[in-house]
Amino acid sequence: MRDGALRLVLGDQLTPGVAALRDIDPVRDVVLLAEVDGEATYVRHHKKKIAFIFAAMRAFADELRAAGLNVRQVRITDPANTHSIAGEVARALAEEGLSRVVTTRCGEWRLDQEMRGWTAALDAPVEIREDDRFICSLERFAAWADGRKQLRMEWFYREMRRATGLLMDGDQPAGGQWNYDAENRKRLPAGVRPPARLFIAPDETTRAAMADVAARYPHHFGDLEPFGYAVRRADAQAIARTFIADILPGFGDWQDAIVHGEPWMWHSVLSMYLNVGLLEPLALCRAAEAAWREGRAPLNAVEGFIRQIIGWREYMRGLYWLKMPDYAALNALGADGRLPDFYWTADTPMACIADAVRQTREHAYAHHIQRLMVTGNFALIAGIDPAEVNDWYLSVYADAFEWVELPNTHGMALFADGGIMASKPYAASGAYIDRMSDQCGACTYDVKLKAGPKACPFNHLYWDFMARNEARLSGNPRLANPLATLRRMSPERRAEIAAAADRFLRSIGVRTG
Ligand code: FAD
Ligand code: DLZ
Ligand code: SF4
């Protein structure tokens, strides 16, 4: 026995100051980083996501070794690999002669539950430390939520602004307003194009991880090439700096816009680095605030960006741990349709969906409005089973971990939680997509048509969704207008909508039987 601790660090805990590494003894303790099939296949993650995580784990092992720590790095190709985190912890304890385990609370309920049984299963003390890389502790979130009927993000966000002092002048919001979202919904004017971005050419470490993934997970969704994401902290920080200098100034204005051939727009594309621990949320927000205070970016852009991180990101995590495990099983609208194949193949004449899926396949990324108002909105109004939709979102995005994916999908996109998060379902017809994008001009369907084979499917699915859920949604004041319109429709028109939606949903395999 070397009387030291095994310091387990998971693939999304790649931060030198993560709780499990605090007070580490560089002589007696050993850090474990284990690449295992169990984590790579509990959903069929996108190939680029797995390569990104494996390469970032390998780069982090180099970083820790350079800092003088003992690192036990288990590669996915290691013949002795047991392919589960628990198996690798047990093997490391035995082979390294260690007596206890220290780790940081993980980001998913399934693994957290498993870890809570490890002390008994491994016959060794397992210390699980809170993950304090977040601004709001889970206790603080629970206290904020306590006794509230509705958990609106905006109120939580204001608390986070006060707690961090970000964009505050004394106890008042900078510029006099908390939220500048009303300025952030512009359509992209003709001729305006997003700025160029910094991509990182894959180094040897990344190339090796890509080759391992190509050999081991050939049937997983997604392309490995081209690979331009950072896997090292310094590269992620360089990308964040160029975002703040060149892209952040336009972040707010066209935040909701979708343009063919422009996957990134003015978005930061930093979520994957934040979520695996290569970037720190508070430091990033302080750098964004400095850009505004020094006149390098407008307030609507900086406030919008900071709100996404200290507001939405923190709120999603708080809600996830507050409501799990029941939250995952909620299906308030009783949706039970199958996920159509085109979520994987992009083989659909609906130009907006084909484009979002193609980009997702290529980059393991799509921006928020594509996730919410294209693939998410379609799944909502088509009535697809939330469990299938969640598996898809958890698989296909490089930034997807259940603590953030589930509440976004289940609560924000699908209204499966019946309104714990959102005050109404984000259901929209083709008109919304037409207003915010250039997709409809290139589509086989006609967004202006409401009936007939050429009519945009979002149009009849939207009204079919309202009709199917009329009773469930009738008490919602924010839906008073569309429900009144629905009630004014003739029985013939309602029957026509139901028949068109049914025909279409059967043709794509959402409804069977
Ligand atoms: P930006 O638009 O540049 O925003 C800046 C940062 O704010 C992001 O990097 C992210 O950290 C944070 N952020 C923005 N919106 C949200 C949000 N709604 N929830 C939490 N953080 C937010 N985000 C994930 O990180 N992982 C997921 O698995 C995920 N799944 C989603 C599923 C659905 C159905 C929807 C509608 C949204 C999902 N989001 C998820 C939220 C959001 O779409 C992504 O965070 C964002 O698109 C990431 O791109 P970006 O870094 O360019 O974001
Ligand atoms: C997502 C992921 C993948 C693909 N592979 C690994 C892995 O091999 N080893 C590991 O420690 N973590 C991996 N992860 C991240 C975990 O799935 C993540 O830590 C949990 O889901 C909790 O958020
Ligand atoms: Fe999407 Fe309808 Fe527009 Fe086609 S017409 S791109 S299906 S919204």
Task: Give the per-residue pLDDT at 185.
Answer: 74
| CA 271 to centroid of ligand 1, rounded, Å | 6
Q: How far is the CA of 513 from the centre of ligand 3 (A)?
A: 27
Mean pLDDT of the chain: 96
Question: If you average pLDDT over residues 56-63, what whole number do you get?
Answer: 98
pLDDT band at 188 (very low <50, low <70, confident <90, very high): confident
Nearest residue (CA) to ligand 3, atom 3: 440
Residue 106: CB within 6 Å of ligand 2?
yes
Task: Say if ligand 2 is within 6 A of residue 46 CB.
Answer: no
Look at ligand 1, atom 34, and give the residue with the nearest C-alpha: 409
Rounded-to-integer distance, Cα 205 and Cα 195, Å: 29
Point out which residues pair with 437 in neighbouring strands: 258
**pLDDT at 254 exceeding the cut of 90:** no
Location of structure tokens 């035995």: 94
Q: Which of 276, 408, 412 to mutate to test the pocket of ligand 1 (most atoms within 8 A of CB)?
A: 408
Query: Helix or strand or coil: residue 74?
Result: strand
Residue 512 is classified by DSSP as -
The CB of 351 under 6 Å from ligand 3? The reply is yes
User: Going by CA atoms, what residue is nearest to atom 5 of ligand 3?
Assistant: 447
How far is ligand 2, taken at its centre, from the CA of residue 370, in Å?
25
Give residue 124's pLDDT.
94
Atom of ligand 3 nearest to the CA of 442: 6
Any atom of ligand 1 within 6 Å of the Cβ of 267? yes
Please name which of 187, 255, 192 lies closest in space to residue 439, comparing C-alpha atoms.
187
Q: How far is the CA of 439 from the centre of ligand 3 (A)?
A: 7
Ligand number with the minimum distance to the CA of 389: 1
Distance 409 CA to ligand 1 centre (A): 11
Q: Is any ligand 2 atom within 6 A of the Cβ of residue 385?
A: no
The strand pair at 168-169 and 126-129 is best described as unpaired
Which protein residue's CA is at the shortest distance from atom 2 of ligand 3? 456
Q: Is 209 in the pocket of ligand 2 (CB under 6 A)?
A: no
What would the mean pLDDT of 179-184 be, rounded to a whole number? 82
Q: Return the ligand number nearest the Cα of 404.
A: 1
pLDDT value at residue 181: 85
Distance between Cα 287 and ligand 2 center (Å): 29
> 465 CB under 6 A from ligand 2?
no
Local structure of 30: helix, strand or coil? strand
Counting residues of the chain whose pLDDT is more than 70, the rounded percentage is 99
CA of 405 to the centre of ligand 1 (A): 8
- 227, 61, 221, 109 alpha-carbon torsion, rounded to 10°: -140
Rounded CA separation 25/475 (Å): 59
Output the CA 10–ligand 2 centroid distance in Å: 6
As given in the structure block, the two tokens for residue 383 are 């009535």
Q: Which residue has the higher pLDDT, 149 or 325?
A: 325
Does the pLDDT of residue 186 top 80, yes or no? no
CA of 337 to the centre of ligand 3 (A): 21
In short, whether 88's Cβ falls inside 6 Å of ligand 2 is no
Cβ-count burial 322-353 (b if 16+ within 10 Å, e if not) = bbbeebbebbbbebebebbebbbebebebbbb
Residue 40 beta carbon below 6 angstroms from any ligand 2 atom: yes
- Who contacts 425 (Cβ-Cβ below 8 Å, separation ≥6)? 333, 380, 414, 415, 465, 469, 473, 479
Q: β-pairing, 168-169 with 172-173?
A: antiparallel
Tell me if 370 sits within 8 A of 351, measured CB to CB: no
Measured distance CA(136)–CA(82) in Å, rounded = 35
Confidence of residue 3 (pLDDT cuts 50, 70, 90): confident
Q: Tell me the per-residue pLDDT of 190-241, one tens digit each, with 9 for 90 and over.
A: 888 999 999 999 999 999 999 999 999 999 999 999 999 999 999 999 999 9
Residue nearest to atom 52 of ligand 1 (CA): 269
Q: Is the CB of 128 under 6 A from ligand 3?
A: no
For residue 257, give the ligand nearest its CA. 1
Q: Is 440 in the pocket of ligand 3 (CB under 6 A)?
A: yes
**How far, in Å, from the CA of 54 to the mean position of ligand 2?**
9
For residues 255 and 207, which has the higher predicted lDDT (pLDDT)?
207
Mean pLDDT (whole number) for 87-113: 97
d(CA 150, CA 359): 35
CB of residue 445 inside a 6 A radius of ligand 3: yes
Given this model, what pLDDT does residue 1 score?
60
End-to-end CA distance of the chain: 62
pTM: 0.98
The percentage of residues in the chain with a pLDDT greater than 90, rounded to a whole number, is 95
Residue type, 63: E
Q: What is the pLDDT of residues 286-345, one digit of tens each?
A: 999 999 999 999 999 999 999 999 999 999 999 999 999 999 999 999 999 999 999 999
Q: Which atom of ligand 1 is nearest to the CA of 389?
A: 34
- pLDDT tens digit sequence for 436-484: 999 999 999 999 999 899 999 999 999 999 999 999 999 999 999 999 9
